[in-house]
Structures are given as structure tokens and as C-alpha cells.
Amino acid sequence: MSFTSIVKNELSKLLLSKVEAITELSSILKNSAYIDNNIIKITTENSSVARHIFNLIKELYNISCKITVRHGYNYKKNYIYILEISNKVDVIINDLSLNTVVPENYIIDDDNLLRIYLRGLFISSGSINDPKKSRYHLEFIVSIEEYANFIKDKLNLYDLNSKVIKRENKFMIYIKEAEKIGDFLRMINAISALLYFEDIRIYRDHKNMTNRLNNCEQANIDKVIGTAHLQVKDIELIEETNGLDILDDKTRLAADYRLKYKEASLLELSEIISMETNTPITKSGLHHRFTKIKDIANRIRNKNDL
């Protein structure tokens, strides 16, 4: 079962007051119903959602929908549930504000009803990627651009940073940021789905941070080894041309220890020298000695290039 289906199953089982039921049903029918010849047809691939719509219509209008079950397109294993309403159609259309592009104010009269309307939108036309399997993505597909912009504006009242793009002859409202998607799930009261989503998000964030730290650590190791390798080459050049006796005692000591510990960092090398010679030397002091060695080696190279 997809994560989208899991979320819709959870939402379709939430209890609603009569006013909340009208708002949610208005949103669901707005985005999943087709009205023709005084018949309302609602289509969904989710059995729990189909049952939820059936119960809402029965409770609000005391009528039963005709339900037809068909195989999915291209004979997919899932089923399509078609609910048909042929009674009180005009009443339902007016009551649920289905004859306007955007709902009348009484449908989304306060913050609670707006959240429920957006919940109905997800139930009817929303989808969300499983955070465990792919990138973070939440979307809604609607038919009318004006309605898409209306939804975008309502979502952004909650600072969700939603955007609209055209997809063929439809319009997609989408949210990409993981934190914003979590906020949306919290907003529509999909608590179980939210806990799962946040667990995966935290795990992925921690894993990404660990990978970044490992990459950073590896880069530092590579840098240390690269620097040490260059120092060894400088020392070997001096030894082959003029001999290490041209170095003063302190610099010669640093050169000898570098040849002995060719991959040690400056900090490690300073600690080794301090311990073995019983003469403290700092990392910066050691760096200064290798700078002198580098200058001598460069002078030799420049002389040989002439």
C-alpha cells in the first residue's frame, strides 16, 4: 500500500461534526465529482475513501449512493470505485457550493474549517511520496487555474511555500520541503502519518549529516596526506642535492621525523617529537620549520630550471 493510501485511510476515519462534514464533502466532491444529467459521479481508487464519502452523503442528506466497482485502467490490480448520486442533486450542489470556482465563505468560515477543506482536497486529489523511498514531494492536481491559485494562497497562509505549475491540461499545486510537508500533515490531523514521516525525515537528515561529516573528514585526511607527501618530496630533494646537513638542527629534526612518519598530521608529528625528544614543539612551530624546508626546496628547483 502506498504512503498516499495510508494517509487517506487515516483521514477518512476521523470523526466530523455536521458543519465539518459539509466542508470536507464540499472539497472532496469539488475535486473528484463529475456532474451531468442531474447525476453526481464521484470516482476514487481508495475503498476507505469511497466508504467515507458514502457515509457522509447518507448522514448529511439521508440518501444512499449507487456504488460501482471496476478494474483500474489498463487492467491494473487496484479497483476504481464510482459513487452515483441521483437524488437531491440540486440541494447537494448548492449546499456544498459546487457551482462556483472557489467555495463560498461559509464553507471555509474559520481556521478549523479551512484545515478540513484542505484535508478534503488531499483525500480527493492529493498524493505524497513515501519519504523512505524517494524525494520529499506533496502535490494536488486540479482542473482550473483560478482554483489552483486559490488553494496555493490558502496553503501559504500556513507558510507552506506551495507553488503552482501547469501539467498538460491540469494544474499541480506542490510542496517540496520536508518540514513544510510535515506541517501540512500536522495541520490536517494525519497524526500517525506525521509520526512515520518525521521518523523517516529525522533518520534521513541524520544519515545525510553523517555522510557529510564522513566526507569532510575524508577530505581533511586527504589534505593531510597530500601536504605530508609534498613535505617529503621537498626533504628528499634537499637530501639528493645538497644534503640535509645544510638545515639547522631544529629544522633537520623536523625533516628526520617527517621522513620517519610520512603520513602523520602536523599535530600528530608535533606530539611524537615532543614525546620522543622530551622537547615540546607546537603544531605552528613545526609548520614554520616545514615552511623553511619548502623555501629551500623551491630555491633548488628554481636554480635547476635556469
- Averaged pLDDT for residues 280-289: 90
* Cα–Cα distance measured from residue 41 to residue 67, given in angstroms and rounded to the nearest whole number: 10
pLDDT in tens, 136-147: 899 999 999 999
60 is a domain residue: yes
Cα torsion through 266, 272, 277, 283, rounded to 10: 20
Percent of the chain with pLDDT over 70: 97
206 is a domain residue: no
- Answer yes or no: do 174 and 221 share one domain: no
92, 53 contact by CB (below 8 A): no
pLDDT at 306 over 50: no
- Answer yes or no: do 174 and 236 share one domain: no
Strand-by-strand arrangement of the 163-167 sheet: 126-128, 138-142, 170-175, 163-167
pLDDT in tens, 47-101: 999 999 999 999 999 999 899 988 766 555 678 999 999 999 999 999 999 999 9
- Answer yes or no: do 153 and 251 share one domain: no
- Answer yes or no: do 14 and 159 share one domain: yes
160 is a domain residue: yes
- Answer yes or no: do 260 and 178 share one domain: no
258 is a domain residue: yes
64 is a domain residue: yes
Q: What is the mean pLDDT of the chain?
A: 90
Q: Among 174, 189, 204, give the residue marking a domain's end.
A: 189
Residue with cell 630555491: 299
- Phi–psi pair at 264, nearest 5 degrees: -75, 145
Domain range enclosing 185: 3-189
178, 189 contact by CB (below 8 A): no
- Answer yes or no: do 223 and 123 share one domain: no
203 is a domain residue: no
- Answer yes or no: do 185 and 221 share one domain: no
- Averaged pLDDT for residues 248-276: 89
- Answer yes or no: do 181 and 231 share one domain: no
Structural domains in the chain (count): 2
pLDDT in tens, 213-257: 777 877 787 788 888 899 999 999 998 888 888 989 899 999 998
Q: Among 170, 189, 208, give the residue marking a domain's end.
A: 189
- Least reliable range by pLDDT among 11-15, 66-70, 211-215, 267-271: 211-215
207 is a domain residue: no
> Residue 100 belongs to a domain with what CATH number?
3.10.28.10
- Answer yes or no: do 257 and 147 share one domain: no
185, 199 contact by CB (below 8 A): no
Q: What is the pLDDT of residue 204?
A: 75
- Answer yes or no: do 181 and 291 share one domain: no
pLDDT in tens, 145-176: 999 999 999 999 999 999 999 988 999 999 99
Provide the pLDDT confidence category of residue 26 given band limits of 50, 70 and 90: very high
pLDDT at 8 over 80: yes
| pTM assigned to the model | 0.69
Q: What is the pLDDT of residue 37?
A: 84
- Averaged pLDDT for residues 126-138: 88
pLDDT in tens, 173-209: 999 998 999 999 999 999 999 999 988 888 877 777 7
241 is a domain residue: yes
- Answer yes or no: do 51 and 109 share one domain: yes
* Cα–Cα distance measured from residue 235 to residue 244, given in angstroms and rounded to the nearest whole number: 8
Q: What is the pLDDT of residue 218?
A: 78
Residue 223: HSE in the Cβ half-sphere, 13 Å Cα cutoff: 7
